[in-house]
Chains A and B, each alone.
Chain A
């Protein structure tokens, strides 16, 4: 079945650093989504990507839909304490599949 490999599983960074995470798959997806989950909350959509090669920004966040349609990355620039949380990628073909998540921890 369709599976996503999300990496890294966890990140420990200093405030102000840039962050990069990615998801890869052996399957082709039509849509890539990036969610953030704050502690004790449900995931919230950050960015949605609909076309291969698409590059989309949302404030300090930038995500790209890989040209092969099998991968996507999310970058966060100049991290701040409220960026802490778990970030999930999700790809959609016939159904929506989630990555394992990247837990981001920031040292002030």
Chain B
């Protein structure tokens, strides 16, 4: 089954404790992206990657890191999480950057930073 998977689905952590949210897709997509969803703000892009070893900042990159060592995986790293990073995070992939209509979203990771 073609899908985007994220782990964990739920995470409660404390300020400053490094964490990684994994994202994996099995559709051989070049383009992958991370979003955060906050009430009243919709989805805002954090980082995106157009292909292996190619990453770039989205609209709200501060406090986040990403890596793209393999085509299928695009982990989101919070080196020192803070309470304002409490949010619902979505990973998405598409065959190419221009094909936003084919963007597939993962199920989401709800993160709480205390």
Task: Identify the A interface with B (CB < 8 A).
Answer: 1, 4, 6, 9, 31, 33, 40-45, 48, 88, 90, 92, 95-96, 98-101
**Minimal beta-carbon separation of A62 from chain B (angstroms):** 17
Partner of A45, one of B42, B43, B101: B101
Task: Identify the B interface with A (CB < 8 A).
Answer: 4, 35, 40-45, 59, 90, 92, 100-103, 105-108
Partner of B105, one of A40, A44, A100: A44
* Contact between A90 and B108, CB atoms less than 8 A apart: no
Residue in B closest to A103 when the chains form the complex, CB atoms:
B39
Question: A9 to B42, alpha carbons, bound, how many Å?
Answer: 11
Partner of A42, one of B59, B102, B106: B106
Question: A92 to B101, alpha carbons, bound, how many Å?
Answer: 10
**Minimal beta-carbon separation of A96 from chain B (angstroms):** 5
* Contact between A41 and B108, CB atoms less than 8 A apart: yes
